[in-house]
Amino acid sequence: MASDFLRDKRIDSSKLYGETPLKANQYYGYKGDTCPNTKKLADTILVILNYYTLKEKELVKIAESVKEVV
């Protein structure tokens, strides 16, 4: 899994939208798998956390690590 790989390299990441399909069902009354695109996107989007204090070499490390996953 990409998030595990990045964590092993000490790169913060998050599945920020993982609960979106559940919330869509809960708040908007969707039944079953009526939001397959939402579920697919929520399962595949990985947020790479960033900070204004990151140095260029840290940004390069993040970019190279993401390329390894892809």
For residue 14, list its beta bridge partners: 47
Domain-by-domain residue ranges, the chain?
2-69
Please write the tens of the pLDDT for every residue from 15-70.
777 777 778 778 877 776 667 777 788 888 888 878 889 999 999 999 999 999 87
pLDDT of residue 34: 63
- Geometric angle at alpha carbon 19, from 3 and 24, rounded to 5°: 150
